[in-house]
Chain A
Amino acid sequence: MTKSLSGKLAIVTGASRGIGRAIAEQLQARGAEVIGTSTKPGGELPKGCRHEAVRLDDPASVAAFCKTVEKLAPHILINNAGVANPQTFETIADDEFRRVHEINLVAPMAICRAALPGMKRHGWGRIVNISSIWGPLSRVARSTYASSKAALDGMSGCLAAEVASHGVLVNCVAPGFTETEMIKTIFPPDKLDALAKSVPMKRLAQPAEIAKAVVWLASAENGYVTGQNILVDGGLSRLKEV
C-alpha cells in the first residue's frame, strides 16, 4: 500500500460503520491522519482514528464541530454521514423532510465552509461528498432522500467551480446498492437478493469498493477531476431492461 497521504489530515463524517468506516480505514492505510465522527461520544471507530462526536441534525452540535474543523484545517473532507427514511410523497411530514435535509445537505455545507480556509491556505484540498444514485435515478418513496442528495451534488458542482483555482477539488460519489446496515433497514433479505440480480454485476457493492473510489478522488492521484458526481453502482444506472 502506498503511503501517498502521509502528512495529510482527513475528516470523515459517519466513520463508525459502513462506507464511512471503510473510507477511514483506507485513508489511514495510505498514511493519512484521520478524524472520524459518529453521533455517540466515544463511538466505535477504526483503530488509530481520532473521534469527534457530532449530531448532524443538531445545528448547535454542527456549529461546534465546524469550529473544530476550522482549527484542524484538514486537507481532506469526506461528508459521508447521512440518513434515509423512505416515505411515499403524501406521507412526508415537513419536519422529517427538514431533518433529512439538515443531515444530508445543510450540515455538509457548513462543514465544507469550515474546511475551506485551511484548504486554501494549504493550496490543496480534496472534498468528496457521498451522494446517491437516488438523484440521477429514482424510485418510489425516495423524494426526501433523493432531493437532499441531488442538492448535495448541485452544491458540490458549484463549490468546485468556486475553489478549483485554489487547488481544491470537489466531487461526489454516488454509491449504488451497497451492503451496509442502512440498506438492511430498508430492504428485507429476499428483496436485497432481487436488487442484487438487477445490477449488471449481479451483486451488491461492498463498502470497501465504494471507499476505494472515494479515496482515489481524495488523493493526489486525482489532479483534474472536479465538479463530478461519480456513480459507483455496478452498472445499474445505465441498464434499462424492459
Chain B
Amino acid sequence: MMDQSLAGKLAVVTGGTRSIGRAVVERFLARGASVIGTGTKPDGDVPKGCRYAQLQLENPQSVESFCRVIAGERPHILVNNGGTSSFATIEDVDLADVERIHEMHVVAPLRLCQAAIPGMKRHGWGRIVNITAISGIWGRPTRTNYGSAKAALDGLTANLAAEVGAHGILANCVAPGFIDTDVLKKNYTEAQRKAMADSVPVKRLGTAADIADMVVFLAGPENGYATAQNIVVDGGFGRVR
C-alpha cells in the first residue's frame, strides 16, 4: 500500500516537466497530493494526473499572473525548483544576465512564497522547499552570478522561516550537488562527468530521485520541526577537501 500521507494536499512545483522537479511531482502524486507543475512553454509535458501551468520565472508579468493562480488555489506545499543556471567568469558576467538569474532564483520565489503564505496560514499548515545549489555555499570559478542568487534564496528562506514558523509553516532549502540531469549531460563530456563522479565520496553523480526524496520528506507531515535549513544532498562532496 503506497503511502497516502499527502492526500487532500495541493502542491505547486515550479519546473515540473523534467529532472528534479518532475521527480518531485511524481512523488507528490504517488502520495495522494494534487499537483500543479509549471514549465516555460504554453503546453508542457508533466506526469499524468498533474495540472500544467505556464510560468516564465524571469518574466515578472508571467510570475504575477501565476501568483494570482496560487492565491486562488491556496496550495499547502510550494516547491521553488524551476530556473536555469548561467556560468561566466567575473569579467564576463553580463548585468542583464545577473538580473535575469536573480529574477528567476530570488525574486520569483519570493513572490510565489508571498502569494502562497496567506493560504498556508489559513490551513495552519504549510511546507515550502526552495531548491538552492552547492554553488551558493562553496565557490568555484564561473559561478558568481548563479551562486549569489542561490545564496540569496537560502537567506530569504531562513528569514521567511523565522516569520511563519508559529503558523505551522516550515521553509527549507535543498542544495543538490552534481546531479546527472539533461543540463549536466549537455554541458559536460562523458569524461568530465566521470571525473565529477569520482570526486564525490559516494563515487557517483546524484540523481533527480536522490534530491526529490529529500524534498518530499521536508514537504510532508513527516517533517515536523526542521525549518530554516539548507540541506546539502551531494554524496559528501562539499565537506571533503
In the complex, what distance in Å separates the CA atom of A161 from the CA atom of B214? 20
| Per-residue A-contact encoding for B149-179, CB less than 8 Å = 1, 0 else | 0000000001001111110001000000100
Q: Are A235 and B201 in contact (CB under 8 A)?
A: no
Q: Tell me if A222 counts as interface (CB < 8 A to partner B).
A: yes
Which partner residue on chain B sits nearest A241 by CB separation?
A: B162
Q: Are B235 and A226 in contact (CB under 8 A)?
A: yes
Q: Are A235 and B161 in contact (CB under 8 A)?
A: yes
Given contact pairs A226-B235, A238-B158, A199 touches B224 in the complex (Cβ within 8 A) = no
Q: Tell me if A44 counts as interface (CB < 8 A to partner B).
A: no
Return chain B residues, CB-CB under 8 Å to A237: 228-229
Q: Tell me if A164 counts as interface (CB < 8 A to partner B).
A: yes
In the complex, what distance in Å separates the CA atom of A206 from the CA atom of B226? 12
Q: Tell me if A231 counts as interface (CB < 8 A to partner B).
A: yes
Q: Are B166 and A202 in contact (CB under 8 A)?
A: yes
Given contact pairs A200-B165, A205-B224, A209-B224, A160 touches B217 in the complex (Cβ within 8 A) = no
Given contact pairs A160-B201, A238-B162, A224 touches B233 in the complex (Cβ within 8 A) = yes
In the complex, what distance in Å separates the CA atom of A228 from the CA atom of B234? 9
Q: Are B227 and A161 in contact (CB under 8 A)?
A: no
Q: Tell me if B19 counts as interface (CB < 8 A to partner A).
A: no
Binds B, one of A49-57, A61-69, A210-218: A210-218
Return chain A residues, CB-CB under 8 Å to B229: 230-231, 237-238
Q: Are A200 and B223 in contact (CB under 8 A)?
A: no
Return chain B residues, CB-CB under 8 Å to A160: 201, 236, 239
Which one, A164, A169, A201, A212, contacts B165 given CB within 8 A? A201
Which partner residue on chain B sits nearest A168 by CB separation?
A: B202
Which one, B170, B201, B207, contacts A226 given CB within 8 A? B201
Return chain B residues, CB-CB under 8 Å to A234: 165, 225, 227
Q: Tell me if B206 counts as interface (CB < 8 A to partner A).
A: yes
Q: Are B235 and A199 in contact (CB under 8 A)?
A: no
Q: Are A239 and B225 in contact (CB under 8 A)?
A: no
Interface residues of A in 1-55 (CB under 8 A from B): 1-2
Q: Tell me if A123 counts as interface (CB < 8 A to partner B).
A: no
Q: Are A230 and B240 in contact (CB under 8 A)?
A: no
Q: Are A200 and B201 in contact (CB under 8 A)?
A: no
In the complex, what distance in Å separates the CA atom of A81 from the CA atom of B228? 26
Count residues of chain B with CB under 8 A from any CB of chain A: 39
CB distance from A157 to the nearest CB of B (A): 5
Q: Tell me if A186 counts as interface (CB < 8 A to partner B).
A: no
Q: Are A235 and B227 in contact (CB under 8 A)?
A: yes
CB distance from A151 to the nearest CB of B (A): 15
Which one, A2, A206, A223, contacts B213 given CB within 8 A? A223
Given contact pairs A201-B166, A216-B222, A238-B158, A164 touches B228 in the complex (Cβ within 8 A) = no
Q: Are B239 and A223 in contact (CB under 8 A)?
A: no
Q: Are B3 and A2 in contact (CB under 8 A)?
A: yes
Which partner residue on chain A sits nearest B3 by CB separation?
A: A2
Which partner residue on chain B sits nearest A228 by CB separation?
A: B232
Which one, B163, B217, B236, contacts A221 given CB within 8 A? B217
Return chain A residues, CB-CB under 8 Å to B170: 201
Q: Tell me if A138 counts as interface (CB < 8 A to partner B).
A: no
Return chain A residues, CB-CB under 8 Å to B236: 160-161, 164, 226-227
Which one, B203, B211, B222, contacts A164 given CB within 8 A? B203
Which partner residue on chain A sits nearest B210 by CB separation?
A: A224
In the complex, what distance in Å separates the CA atom of A90 from the CA atom of B220? 45
15 A-B residue pairs with CB within 8 Å: A164-B201, A164-B236, A167-B202, A169-B202, A201-B166, A202-B165, A209-B224, A213-B223, A216-B217, A222-B214, A224-B202, A230-B226, A232-B226, A234-B227, A239-B228
A interface, CB within 8 angstroms of B: 1-2, 157, 160-161, 164-165, 167, 169, 176, 199-202, 205-206, 208-210, 212-213, 216, 221-228, 230-235, 237-239
Known contacts A165-B201, A200-B166; 15 further A-B pairs (Cβ under 8 A): A160-B201, A161-B240, A201-B170, A202-B166, A206-B225, A208-B224, A209-B224, A223-B209, A224-B234, A225-B231, A230-B229, A231-B229, A235-B158, A238-B228, A239-B161
